[in-house]
Structure 1
Amino acid sequence: MTASPLPSLSQRYGERYRWLLLLSVMVGTMASIMSSTIVNVAIPGMSHYFALGQERAQWVSSGFMVAMTVSMLTTPWLLGRYGYRRTYVGTMVLLLAGGIAGGLANDFSLVLIARVAEGLAAGVVQPIPAIIILRAFEPHEQGRASGIFGMGVVLAPAIGPSIGGVLVDLFGWRSIFFMVVPFCLASIWLAYKFVPTTAPGGASAQRTSGLDWRGLLIGTVGTLCLLNGLVTLRGDAPLEAAALLAGAAASLVLFIWWQRRLMAAEGAPLMNMALFGYRQFSMGTVVAFIYGAALFGSTYLLPVYMQVALHLSASHVGTIMLPAGIVLAFTIAGVGRLADRQPTWLLVSIGLALLAVSFTLMLALSLGSALWLLVVFAVIGRIGLGFILPSLNLGSMRPLAKPLIPQGASTISFLRMLGGAAGVSLCAIALEWRLAAHGDSLANPLSSPARLAAFNEVFLMLAALCALAICAAWQLRVRAPFPPKTTSEET
């Protein structure tokens, strides 16, 4: 297949090209998001198969999150060095290999390696759609494009857990790894057809600049120290936990210092500190971090709650979450149009409030509650997500200068996922702590009101995080002018 530069693709497909390009990256993003969420319904089965404790089983999710979080910082460099197509196809091949290897693995260490490979691929691909939307679409179309993209992306994980739950019940936990295979194959085909070979801005990919390996190493060490420190907090080693968390704080200070020094030397930093000179972007990253902790923490907690506290099967879990996922998809499509006209702070605040309400309502459930209540509460939370997803990135990055857009997309995605990785660990720690406080543990096969009380307290913690994020969202009230008019040929 011959390489097709952007101008020839635009001339060949005309006005519809930018939508075909969006569709192409949508399929790959669907695969990456599915790989991050669908494994949760298989954690109990995987834990039983490998005889894992809660701490090791949790790394199936958090190991993926660490890899995805750190690799997001490399997206601008990869796009600049290799261009859109090579970067995108490379991530899809890695995601495909991870899915196949994870499904065939007979050792838990191999499963973790496969999950890390999937996480690396998912992290690189996540910021690409936001870069394309802000560069290929007119300002008045960006909300609509973001809404349509978001609708397509969330449909896959909405349907995925339902199908995955059935597959786990019928064929075991291995089957969920293979679900990404058809999406990866389709995305590779679409990439060769519609994704340009150019770097952001329509320029040719340059092979001269080097990756900021020191910054990447510092970021990786800091992320691992943070997550391991949170995990160690649940044990009997407070000094070790304190040392790890201190290492995370020191890594943050060192990372900022190194990025500033690299900028002063006119180098290519992993994270351009000039981004934080834009107030809307700075506040958006705060919201993204807290929101990520609540979102991914709940994504981990809900399937465990339904299977361990309510004793529902994996297929039941997927079926319960299906209506919520479908509602989320249509909410995103509608809110995407509002994002072109309504202020970001209002849409994000509404979404966070609904998400907090959904967590709080979980306290009304008991062992004898009707399942439709759980469906309704999940729907309320997903409507909240529908208000946040298409609004936050656009509102935070619209004020940025065009050369900073790739770095902005990478940075805000990184901080959201860093919050998410911390949120998964935080929920696991809080759950184990509250179970012990109520005289229970997940090793006990029987549920009880005390177990539900422990879960309820963790849901309240997530609601409090959402309330905290609302305070930051209100700081987004200063509206900046839209960026200058762009065309698809600047992608």
Structure 2
Amino acid sequence: MSTVADALPGPRPVPPPAISKLGVTITTMIAMISMIMSSTMVNVAIPDIMGAFGIGQDQAHWMATGFLSAMTVSMLLNAWLVGRFGPRASFLGAVAIFMIAGVIGQTAPTYGGLVLARVAQGVCAGIIQPLAMSTVFLAYPPEERGRAMGWFGMGIVLGPTIGPTLGGIIVDTVAWRWVFTAPVPIMAVSAALALVYLPGRDPSARRPGLNIVSFVLITLAIGLFLNGITEGQRNGWDAHRSFLMLFGSALCFACFLYRESSHPAPLIQLRLFSVWQYTASAIVAFVFGAGMFGTLFLIPVMVQTVQGFTATKAGLMLLPGGMVAMAVFPIAGRLSQAVAPIWPISIGLIVFALSCVWLRDAGIATGFWTLAFLVAFGRIGLGLVIPSLNLGAMSSVPRDLVPSAAGTLNFIRMTGAAIGVNALAIIIDGRIASHLQALSATQTPGNVPLSELLAMLSDRLARIGVPASDRHGAAMTYVGQLLDMKAHELAFHDGFAVLAAAFTVGLVTTVLLMRRRGGRP
């Protein structure tokens, strides 16, 4: 049925019908939650993958880092894809490739094949996330966008929260390979909904060109940086290979910025950063991304290697945090409309930093519910930060820059995530070796507690019939296992200390930068 508004020339500022808003929101959030869920579902399978392929943490972290880094750079394609093909076609293409990559990951015979499948899925997730954000944002009138960003933020957190739970159940009951294809049925549902609810390409919109040189430069910059810091940890920071990678990364990034400042079709609209509110939000988003995905990487691995939890138990431990985040997000979405962004962002960062400080004290004997409570407490901070951060950034830019603003903000946040996860894996790997060396140095013949422990172990071994010639060796093997477990525990403590420091930096940035313009978009 036509209306008076349909007869008016030019673009119409009226919002779409309620059913369209609901349809767009449900369609995009189903896909986004599934893809982000996939990013953490594999984390609980990392110990099994390490055993299956005989690799250490210095290589295993690429299951997470490869996905995150690919997702990061592909976010910059959002504005070009939407302008060239429209939201619906871009969405359907990304979903199809994601499903195919999942099947490849499940059947890949080598670890390299798994990483390539994860990279392909990361590319698709990077396309979907900003597309969903900008589509949902524009589907709602200005007075409802705070609530819409609250729902959107809930999807960002819900996916990585339920991912470890589902992944743990799959690993323990079926096989770890099935974590690659578990999201496929849900993606098929989202594709069917997209055919109905997502808009096609606007025929009056200009078809932007693809700045392929800039895309290659930023991809090389991120890839060389992540490999460079990994190489530095493994072979020494003075190694020529590490230096060349890091220097090449800096050179590529400098060339990227130069090209973006003069190219008629940039991947990143640098004029976005002339808006102070957007610049402040982008800096906080980088720190927040590193901390948020850093915890989602650290916690499942820690509780399986230190506490000895099963994959299912590790995933279930994160589930209460997801429920808390779901409860907080609708409230935080309304709060973001009522107060200046600086307040919920600052409070959220403080809460998240406190949870990391308390997790730093978690040890081998720390119970399931204590850990679950600390994780859930941190998710309160997560729920407070994301809606205000997104709304403050998106509302501060002109409407024609919204797709670019969404892609750039998510790019910056996920760049922080990729660098944060990679850096944490390197820190933990190095600190395990350092702590193990320090602990081993204290195990001397004059160490009274060690002598008492060896005597107790020898006595118990004698009671179960172990020959006298084998008792000392068996007791020392057990002591070595205890030292290794303690070294892992202390290394994870260092990781949480780094995260607490990162959130503190984010808090200082929020207070200093957002207060400069009164904190309101």
What's 2:218 paired with? 219
Task: Check the 8 A contact 2:99/2:184 in 1, yes or no.
Answer: yes
How far apart are 1:445 and its partner, in Å? 6.0
Scaled by the length of structure 1, the TM-score of the pair is 0.90
Matched, 1:466 2:503: yes
Distance in 2, Cα, partners of 1:99 & 1:346: 41
Distance in 2, Cα, partners of 1:153 & 1:393: 11
Distance in 1, Cα, partners of 2:148 & 2:301: 34
Distance in 2, Cα, partners of 1:38 & 1:147: 23
Task: Check the 8 A contact 1:233/1:429 in 2, yes or no.
Answer: no
SS of equivalent residue, structure 2 residue 70: helix
- For residue 365 of structure 1, what is the amino acid of its counterpart? A
What's 1:430 paired with? 427
Q: How many residues are treated as equivalent by the alignment?
A: 465
What's 2:200 paired with? 197
What's 1:249 paired with? 250
> Match for 2:123 among 110, 120, 143?
120
Distance in 2, Cα, partners of 1:481 & 1:334: 19
> Match for 1:304 among 275, 285, 301?
301
> Match for 1:387 among 377, 384, 387?
384
Task: Check the 8 A contact 1:221/1:248 in 2, yes or no.
Answer: yes
Distance in 2, Cα, partners of 1:465 & 1:448: 26
Task: Check the 8 A contact 1:397/1:409 in 2, yes or no.
Answer: yes
How far apart are 1:47 and its partner, in Å? 1.1
Matched, 1:328 2:329: no
What's 1:404 paired with? 401
Scaled by the length of structure 2, the TM-score of the pair is 0.85
How far apart are 1:205 and its partner, in Å? 5.5
Task: Check the 8 A contact 1:162/1:321 in 2, yes or no.
Answer: yes
What's 2:445 paired with? none
Change beyond 3 A, Cα 1:366–1:136 = same
Task: Show the 5 A alignment for 1:162-201.
Answer: 162-199=165-202
Moved more, 457-466 or 358-367: 358-367
SS of equivalent residue, structure 1 residue 367: coil
Distance in 1, Cα, partners of 2:234 & 2:29: 41
Change beyond 3 A, Cα 1:69–1:152 = closer
Structure exhibiting the larger radius of gyration computed from Cα positions: 2
What's 1:85 paired with? 88
Task: Check the 8 A contact 2:225/2:246 in 1, yes or no.
Answer: yes
SS of equivalent residue, structure 2 residue 504: helix
Task: Check the 8 A contact 1:130/1:393 in 2, yes or no.
Answer: no
- For residue 170 of structure 1, what is the amino acid of its counterpart? T
Change beyond 3 A, Cα 1:58–1:410 = same
CA RMSD after TM alignment: 2.2
How far apart are 1:243 and its partner, in Å? 2.6
Task: Check the 8 A contact 1:303/1:317 in 2, yes or no.
Answer: yes
- For residue 131 of structure 2, what is the amino acid of its counterpart? I
Distance in 1, Cα, partners of 2:227 & 2:397: 34
What's 1:64 paired with? 67
What's 1:476 paired with? 514
How far apart are 1:127 and its partner, in Å? 0.6
Distance in 2, Cα, partners of 1:26 & 1:332: 14
What's 1:488 paired with? none
Identity percentage over the alignment?
A: 34
Moved more, 131-140 or 468-477: 131-140
- For residue 173 of structure 1, what is the amino acid of its counterpart? W
Distance in 2, Cα, partners of 1:204 & 1:188: 25
Runs of at least 4 residues of structure 1 off by over 4 A? 203-207, 444-447, 479-482
How far apart are 1:439 and its partner, in Å? 1.2
- For residue 514 of structure 2, what is the amino acid of its counterpart? L
Matched, 1:54 2:50: no
Task: Check the 8 A contact 1:150/1:329 in 2, yes or no.
Answer: no
Task: Check the 8 A contact 2:88/2:198 in 1, yes or no.
Answer: yes
Gaps of 5+ in 1: 1-6, 483-491
Distance in 1, Cα, partners of 2:297 & 2:427: 13
Distance in 1, Cα, partners of 2:305 & 2:204: 53
Highest RCO, 1 vs 2 (Cα 8 Å, sep ≥ 6): 1
> Match for 1:28 among 26, 31, 49?
31
What's 1:143 paired with? 146
**Per-residue deviation, residues 302-351 of structure 1 (Å, max 9, x unmatched):** 11111111111101101111111111111112111111111111111111
Distance in 2, Cα, partners of 1:269 & 1:214: 10
What's 2:466 paired with? none
Change beyond 3 A, Cα 1:114–1:204 = farther
> Match for 1:353 among 342, 347, 350?
350
Task: Check the 8 A contact 2:41/2:166 in 1, yes or no.
Answer: no
Distance in 1, Cα, partners of 2:26 & 2:284: 28
How far apart are 1:382 and its partner, in Å? 0.8
SS of equivalent residue, structure 2 residue 234: coil
How far apart are 1:145 and its partner, in Å? 1.1
